[in-house]
Amino acid sequence: MKLLIINPNTTQQVTETIGAAAKAAASPGTEIVMATARFGADVIASRAEDILAAHAALEVAAAHAGQCDAVIIAASWDSGLLGIREALREPEVGLTESACKVATMLGDRFGLVTFGARSVPCYRNRVKSYGLAERLAGVGCVDIDRTRMYTDRAATVAKIVACARELIKQHGAEVIIPSGAVTAGLHAEIQAELPVPVIDATSCAVQLAQSLVRLRPFKATTGSFSVPLSRHVGGVDPAIARLFEPPA
Amino acid sequence: MKLLIINPNTTQQVTETIGAAAKAAASPGTEIVMATARFGADVIASRAEDILAAHAALEVAAAHAGQCDAVIIAASWDSGLLGIREALREPEVGLTESACKVATMLGDRFGLVTFGARSVPCYRNRVKSYGLAERLAGVGCVDIDRTRMYTDRAATVAKIVACARELIKQHGAEVIIPSGAVTAGLHAEIQAELPVPVIDATSCAVQLAQSLVRLRPFKATTGSFSVPLSRHVGGVDPAIARLFEPPA
Amino acid sequence: MKLLIINPNTTQQVTETIGAAAKAAASPGTEIVMATARFGADVIASRAEDILAAHAALEVAAAHAGQCDAVIIAASWDSGLLGIREALREPEVGLTESACKVATMLGDRFGLVTFGARSVPCYRNRVKSYGLAERLAGVGCVDIDRTRMYTDRAATVAKIVACARELIKQHGAEVIIPSGAVTAGLHAEIQAELPVPVIDATSCAVQLAQSLVRLRPFKATTGSFSVPLSRHVGGVDPAIARLFEPPA
Amino acid sequence: MKLLIINPNTTQQVTETIGAAAKAAASPGTEIVMATARFGADVIASRAEDILAAHAALEVAAAHAGQCDAVIIAASWDSGLLGIREALREPEVGLTESACKVATMLGDRFGLVTFGARSVPCYRNRVKSYGLAERLAGVGCVDIDRTRMYTDRAATVAKIVACARELIKQHGAEVIIPSGAVTAGLHAEIQAELPVPVIDATSCAVQLAQSLVRLRPFKATTGSFSVPLSRHVGGVDPAIARLFEPPA
Amino acid sequence: MKLLIINPNTTQQVTETIGAAAKAAASPGTEIVMATARFGADVIASRAEDILAAHAALEVAAAHAGQCDAVIIAASWDSGLLGIREALREPEVGLTESACKVATMLGDRFGLVTFGARSVPCYRNRVKSYGLAERLAGVGCVDIDRTRMYTDRAATVAKIVACARELIKQHGAEVIIPSGAVTAGLHAEIQAELPVPVIDATSCAVQLAQSLVRLRPFKATTGSFSVPLSRHVGGVDPAIARLFEPPA
Amino acid sequence: MKLLIINPNTTQQVTETIGAAAKAAASPGTEIVMATARFGADVIASRAEDILAAHAALEVAAAHAGQCDAVIIAASWDSGLLGIREALREPEVGLTESACKVATMLGDRFGLVTFGARSVPCYRNRVKSYGLAERLAGVGCVDIDRTRMYTDRAATVAKIVACARELIKQHGAEVIIPSGAVTAGLHAEIQAELPVPVIDATSCAVQLAQSLVRLRPFKATTGSFSVPLSRHVGGVDPAIARLFEPPA
């Protein structure tokens, strides 16, 4: 099977990091196709940037519609996930969505570790929008210089671990989800320091995408997740416009 | 004061209808500036189209940043509202957000009347995202041919009224919010047929925008609604990119 | 338009403080009529006192029914608000209700600063009764001697600011609502010390009352907020009894 | 032990009906003292009347403070319950509160049968304020002429039973709570027609009040249910004012 | 009346401690019959042990079905409570269920003090399953050596009190429920140190069981709490199998 | 990898049906090991039977601990799931848990179709206990004679489809989960009649179990899902007792 992984951030290096992690997580026979957002933020960190990322991800998804078996939205914001799920005929999963699903099969409540205080309510609301607020122990946040994050891995791991320990001790987190692409590849080091399962979101997304492909779910022909056909959409990439066209 | 009203749909006629309603609702001294989305759906009816609308609305808002006193997102989907609220320094309100706020000052639980079954869960989730799920009696839906909706006003009113009566009788709605631009201008006729308050969303948005301007709220310098400064955003309208630039 | 502002506390000085703040917040053409509770607590601080305040506020409202355009319940307990909303034909707003509505248009979750630990659960439950519990970051409480509160304004401001900072830092509050009449007039000083919007409840109530008057909402003739006509009520102020009489 | 039962309605006949039911439900050695509200509605049916009833009930409770072992608020609105619980040193229970507590020990979700559509949201909110919304299957409502209700018992029972069957069949109610004093004495007849437990609220309140007396709970000296001492309260019955005085 | 009290732990000494507390709490004329689980954990401390305890409690209940007036599940886990409530014709109450019901008649939110961190989420979920999550201030946990707990009562009391104070101060608990059999007999000492009501779960369960017996509730003949008749159950104690047999 | 599938019902035929479905759903290289409960109900249909099933499932799981890579609890009640998850070192999934997780990646809210009215609240509560209540559109119930269910497949499918259509139309279900082993093998026929995705719970459980095995999650050494070591458990199958023994 072929999985399309969309990086809604514009940073090619992030795409590569996620691609490597995804390939390592995929089963034999699963082909990984990576694609990067054409426009928007280099690293999404606000609702305004998420608006751009959602459009950019939809554009990429539209370009690959019908040519892959499932789509992974590879940003912890899950940018555009629900709209893409609606418009495409293939299954979709998001990084944070996948991580939450796996986490809730391993412990009571999970804690999310994110970067930058301003995204804390955004993650909390994202989890709430999935109907999983009761399973969220809390969202913790690490403040670290962007450059140092990539150059000083030991410091990054140490800060994530410290934040996770606080979530475990003070908020009763029984599973830890480190958010974001930056944590791809650090999973083993973080897990080694913590007494509860640590979730590698990319691996979870790959696994769940594979599962959905194998389950061959019927695409709804009614309801809010059926394809919004025969809509008039203009001024956008032709691939997007084609999504709304009735089948020939 | 000057209120910028953004129509995130691309249909100019809708912009004009809303503009007329907004001018009628505004207080003396309030200037209404109308603007229409440059790209996207003619009438938003799905999450995928809402993704485009959010970007288009952000683009319009960015172009007017600093030149108006408040912004109204004039689609019942409130497309892009929270991201625009974050990125601009002026207050913002959405049509459905405003309607919900007024409705909850008039009755116990409100009912939403919308068009097309597929948008029902979208509206329910939008209300839920505002933290107001407990005040929502239900979302009813009217099925009516798009053309007939604009040409046969009596039929449109009759269908909205029938749906509203069901919400009142079966779900205990004590206030009715008809969604969407199509209902602008029909308020008096709908109200005449119903025993509970009917909300005119455009008027509510104008009133609340005026109120916010007069209250002169401080723009947060921390938290998720502070301006996301010094971000790298590319491939988008320069006005959007400027939003993320630190002040000179 | 004419706004009746009811102080459900019996302290005339509080009435005057609120009156001054309300006049400053009102638009040109808005007349403010102040009235004070005839009986009850000088400053409401418990559920038992709130029971008395609700009756006293209803009595004042009844005496002015038909002679004003809207009513503001000017205590942070919003004493009697829902019952008065039901019995009168004019719109009503409460101080805390108004503050919550404005706060949720400015940030993700808000924090309430109140006076005296015993009222903390009462405010939390009040917010919950409005269906807004999800938007409440927390209720903080300042302990300060009543006399000092009025004589040492700098100390009062300092304590409110310290409590607000805790709500911002520990509980993620993105907007601060200082409760109560005592904070009327201190808004600018508190705002100057905090990085998020601070709500002036009296101004919000005046703005929302004005908005409701301009929207001319239909008075429900069915449901729990229609006037409870033809009820037999005895032993109370004749103005209250008249509320329940069918129109001539 | 001595139980004070306060009828917050002003109708003496209701007091007598409840008194008879309470005496039948009480254990040997339990003395029932009945008292009727001095002012307010003859039968509470709106929030405005509940405001008056709360004050009237507080007045009665104040007059008996220290002379009974527990207090029962004998209206299905539980008028003034929390304020009285706070101000008195003896335990209090309300009719609906007690009924809900017993119902949730007998089935999954309960249905409430009430009189008059306008009180439906009020009961739903009362249950919600007790934190029991998840256990509420629904509130059904019977419309019956007040006079006929008392003269044609068979018709009253038939209507309650029909409403209860709807709650059982359509909403999954597994226990039925008929509200109000009018249903006192009809319990056996209603139960005979239904396949799930029917709650007699008066009996439940008597049982729970007896239980609380025997448990001799400590009266909080801190928190929102400690006595609000040293407050200045004027213009009310001296017994009420005395509640707020510090002990000699 | 005769109350069967089932200890779902296998420790006979716990049965005796609870028996003594229950006898002290019972009204004259109430006979207490104690029974201990035949198999399972000596002191339940995990979900896996709770599975065993539920079966063991059901076995004891089945053996006494028809020979008692009500059943008390005397473990703070309320092991097997809902299944036993379903299968028997007599009323049942659990220790924690009873404690929560009484606590919510005395204060706003209650705090639970338990032993061992691993049971914290289990208690929280148990309260949530009763639909009472909104009334739960928090679950605190005491770590104390099992042996010392029984030999050094002063230390046990001190640790419970310290944990309770934290729940009162940091989480706004207005009532404290110490969990478990180990706290039976320590109630007076704990109460003496705290400014809010402390709940003695065993006494509450006895009181509520007595109340239910006196209320003589109808046993549902439909719904999820009717007896699951004519089921085929094999390989278990014959008394359990008999529960599912249709009446002769 | 080797997946242990436990049928907590005692009916061997159900084990075989599930085994066939599981083998069809498994990926190459996945070995399916089936096991049936030693005692309990032939088909679980009540909480009391679920108590027995949980113990029986734990017993089977204990016997296979260390000899499989993951465990599937193959009853729609997910009997004993959380306790087994805690006590074993291998991952576990339940049929309904898995179905809910997949359903929420395909649509907004899902509807559950079950058999027999008495299990409706039990399924609703199970979903609620997973923290997914907001995603549940409703639980519908089919009444069909047990024998006919197995002999007249067309009638069974027709009834499930009718119930599903009601959930879609009246309650907005966008995905349908038919519960129970009886529906194994009917998936294609049910899907053919419905316009939204139909979930095959067994296939979902197999896919998610495979995913968990591949993710190799760390087994918590703290928190409520760590192994409850060094507990004293008696009177049960030696394999269960061994679960609680500290590693050599």
pLDDT tens for D23-69 read 999 999 999 999 999 999 999 999 999 999 999 999 999 999 999 99
Q: Which of E72, E98, E105 to mutate to test the interface with D (most CBs of D within 10 A)?
A: E105
> How distant is the Cα of F173 from the closest Cα of chain B, in angstroms?
10
Residues of D in contact with E85 (CB under 8 A): 106
Chains F and E touch (3+ CB pairs under 8 A): yes
- Give the torsion sign (CA, E139, D127, E208, D87): positive
B88, B65 Cβ separation under 8 angstroms: yes
Residues of A in contact with E121 (CB under 8 A): 108-109, 172, 174
How far is it, in rounded angstroms, from Cα B175 to Cα C205?
Answer: 21
Q: Would you say residue E151 has pLDDT above 90?
A: no
Q: What is the pLDDT of residues D19-34, one digit of tens each?
A: 999 999 999 999 999 9
> How distant is the Cα of D111 from the closest Cα of chain F, in angstroms?
14
Q: What per-residue confidence (pLDDT) applies to E191?
A: 97
Q: Output the DSSP codes for B110-138.
A: EEEEEESGGGHHHHHHHHHHTT-GGGEEE
Average pLDDT taken over every residue of chain D: 95
Residue in chain E lying closest to A108 (CA): E121
Q: What is the pLDDT of residues E53-102, one digit of tens each?
A: 999 999 999 999 999 999 999 999 999 999 999 999 999 999 999 999 99
CATH 3.40.50.12500 is the classification of domain A97-201 = yes
Chains A and B touch (3+ CB pairs under 8 A): yes
Q: Would you say residue B247 has pLDDT above 80?
A: no
May I ask the CATH class of domain C2-94+203-243? alpha beta
How far is it, in rounded angstroms, from Cα F63 to Cα F238?
Answer: 9
> How distant is the Cα of C225 from the closest Cα of chain B, in angstroms?
6
Chains F and C touch (3+ CB pairs under 8 A): no
The DSSP letter of residue D181 is: G
| Contact between F125 and D108 using a beta-carbon 8 Å cutoff | yes
Q: What is the pLDDT of residues A20-64, one digit of tens each?
A: 999 999 999 999 999 999 999 999 999 999 999 999 999 999 999
* Backbone region of residue E230 per phi and psi (left: phi > 0; alpha: psi in -120 to 50; beta: other values): left
Residues of C in contact with A121 (CB under 8 A): 108-109, 172, 174
The set of residues, in sequence order, having a beta carbon less than 8 Å from that of E27 and lying 6+ positions away, is: D27, D214, E210
> How distant is the Cα of E170 from the closest Cα of chain D, in angstroms?
12
Instruction: Quote the tokens at residue E237.
Output: 């104690």
| Contact between A120 and C172 using a beta-carbon 8 Å cutoff | yes
Q: Is A145 exposed, middle or buried (0-12, 13-18, 19+ CB in 10 A)?
A: exposed
How far is it, in rounded angstroms, from Cα B58 to Cα E218?
Answer: 62
In this predicted model, which residue has the larger pLDDT, C145 or C156?
C156
Instruction: Quote the tokens at residue E131.
Output: 């639909």
Q: What is the pLDDT of residues B139-197, one digit of tens each?
A: 999 988 777 777 888 999 999 999 999 999 999 999 999 997 778 889 999 999 999 99
Residues of F in contact with D174 (CB under 8 A): 121
High-pLDDT (> 70) share of chain E, %: 99
Neighbouring subunits of B (3+ Cβ pairs under 8 A): A, C, D, F
CA proximity to D39, closest of D74, D78, D79, D11: D11
* B2-95+203-243 and B97-200 agree in CATH topology: yes
C72, C4 Cβ separation under 8 angstroms: yes
| Contact between B197 and C220 using a beta-carbon 8 Å cutoff | yes
Nearest to B48 among A128, A129, A243 (CB): A243
| Contact between D47 and C233 using a beta-carbon 8 Å cutoff | no
Q: Would you say residue C248 has pLDDT above 80?
A: no
Q: Which of B110, B126, B171, B215 to mutate to test the interface with C (most CBs of C within 10 A)?
A: B215
**Axis-axis angle for helices F47-64, E47-64 (nearest 10):** 130
Q: Are strands E40-41 and F233-234 parallel, antiparallel or unpaired?
A: antiparallel
Q: What per-residue confidence (pLDDT) applies to A232?
A: 86
CA proximity to B197, closest of B126, B111, B115, B120: B111
May I ask the CATH class of domain B97-200? alpha beta
Q: What per-residue confidence (pLDDT) applies to E227?
A: 95
| Contact between E41 and F86 using a beta-carbon 8 Å cutoff | no
| Contact between F119 and E224 using a beta-carbon 8 Å cutoff | yes
Q: Output the DSSP codes for E125-149.
A: HHHHHTT-GGGEEEEEEE---HHHH
Residues of E in contact with A103 (CB under 8 A): none
Q: Is E47 exposed, middle or buried (0-12, 13-18, 19+ CB in 10 A)?
A: buried
How far is it, in rounded angstroms, from Cα B57 to Cα B67?
Answer: 16
Q: Which of F167, F218, F227 to mutate to test the interface with A (most CBs of A within 10 A)?
A: F218
Residues of B in contact with F108 (CB under 8 A): 121, 125
> How distant is the Cα of E32 from the closest Cα of chain A, in angstroms?
37
Q: What per-residue confidence (pLDDT) applies to A144?
A: 81
Instruction: Quote the tokens at residue C50.
Output: 């709130």
How far is it, in rounded angstroms, from Cα E143 to Cα E117?
Answer: 8
The set of residues, in sequence order, having a beta carbon less than 8 Å from that of D134 and lying 6+ positions away, is: D109, E131, F128
Give the C-alpha distances (Å, rounded to integers) separating F45 from D197, E61, E92, E244, F215: 21, 19, 20, 11, 34
Give SS3 for D62: helix
Nearest to D208 among E132, E135, E211 (CB): E211
Q: What is the pLDDT of residues F189-247, one digit of tens each?
A: 999 999 999 999 999 999 999 999 999 999 999 999 999 987 789 999 999 999 998 87
Q: Would you say residue D89 has pLDDT above 70?
A: yes
| SS3 assignment for C1-68 | CEEEEEECCCCHHHHHHHHHHHHHHCCCCCEEEEEECCCEECCCCCHHHHHHHHHHHHHHHHHHCCCC
Residues of F in contact with E223 (CB under 8 A): 117-118, 121
Give the C-alpha distances (Å, rounded to integers) separating D15 from D9, D43, D91, F63: 8, 11, 20, 65
Q: What per-residue confidence (pLDDT) applies to A230?
A: 77
How far is it, in rounded angstroms, from Cα F198 to Cα A218?
Answer: 7
Q: Would you say residue F132 has pLDDT above 90?
A: yes
Residues of C in contact with B226 (CB under 8 A): 195
Residues of C in contact with E174 (CB under 8 A): 121
Nearest to F233 among E40, E129, E222 (CB): E40
- The predicted complex's ipTM stands at 0.96
Residue in chain C lying closest to A139 (CA): C172
Average pLDDT taken over every residue of chain E: 95
> How distant is the Cα of C172 from the closest Cα of chain A, in angstroms?
8
Residues of B in contact with D125 (CB under 8 A): 108
Instruction: Quote the tokens at residue F232.
Output: 């004293």
Mean pLDDT, residues C100-112 taken together: 98
Q: Which of D105, D165, D206 to mutate to test the interface with E (most CBs of E within 10 A)?
A: D105
How far is it, in rounded angstroms, from Cα C23 to Cα C11?
Answer: 19
Q: What per-residue confidence (pLDDT) applies to E199?
A: 97
CATH number of B2-95+203-243: 3.40.50.12500
Q: How many helices (H) and strands (E) does chain F have?
A: 10, 9
The set of residues, in sequence order, having a beta carbon less than 8 Å from that of A2 and lying 6+ positions away, is: A30, A31, A33, A67, A68, A69
Instruction: Quote the tokens at residue B166.
Output: 């069901």
| Contact between F109 and B121 using a beta-carbon 8 Å cutoff | yes
Nearest to F196 among A198, A210, A223 (CB): A223
C73, C93 Cβ separation under 8 angstroms: yes
> How distant is the Cα of E241 from the closest Cα of chain F, in angstroms?
9
| Contact between C222 and D117 using a beta-carbon 8 Å cutoff | yes
| Contact between D132 and E131 using a beta-carbon 8 Å cutoff | yes
Mean pLDDT, residues A162-185 taken together: 92
How far is it, in rounded angstroms, from Cα C237 to Cα C223?
Answer: 26
How far is it, in rounded angstroms, from Cα B133 to Cα B111?
Answer: 11
Residues of C in contact with B175 (CB under 8 A): 220
> How distant is the Cα of B110 from the closest Cα of chain D, in angstroms?
12
Q: What per-residue confidence (pLDDT) applies to C143?
A: 86
In this predicted model, which residue has the larger pLDDT, E139 or A232?
E139
Residues of C in contact with A120 (CB under 8 A): 172
Residues of F in contact with E221 (CB under 8 A): none
Q: What is the pLDDT of residues D101-134, one digit of tens each?
A: 999 999 999 999 999 899 999 999 999 999 999 9
Nearest to E58 among F51, F83, F87 (CB): F51
Q: Global pTM?
A: 0.97
Instruction: Quote the tokens at residue B37.
Output: 């989305």
Domain ranges in chain B? Answer: 2-95+203-243, 97-200
E77, E99 Cβ separation under 8 angstroms: no
Chains A and D touch (3+ CB pairs under 8 A): no
How far is it, in rounded angstroms, from Cα E201 to Cα E183?
Answer: 9
First to last CA, chain B: 26
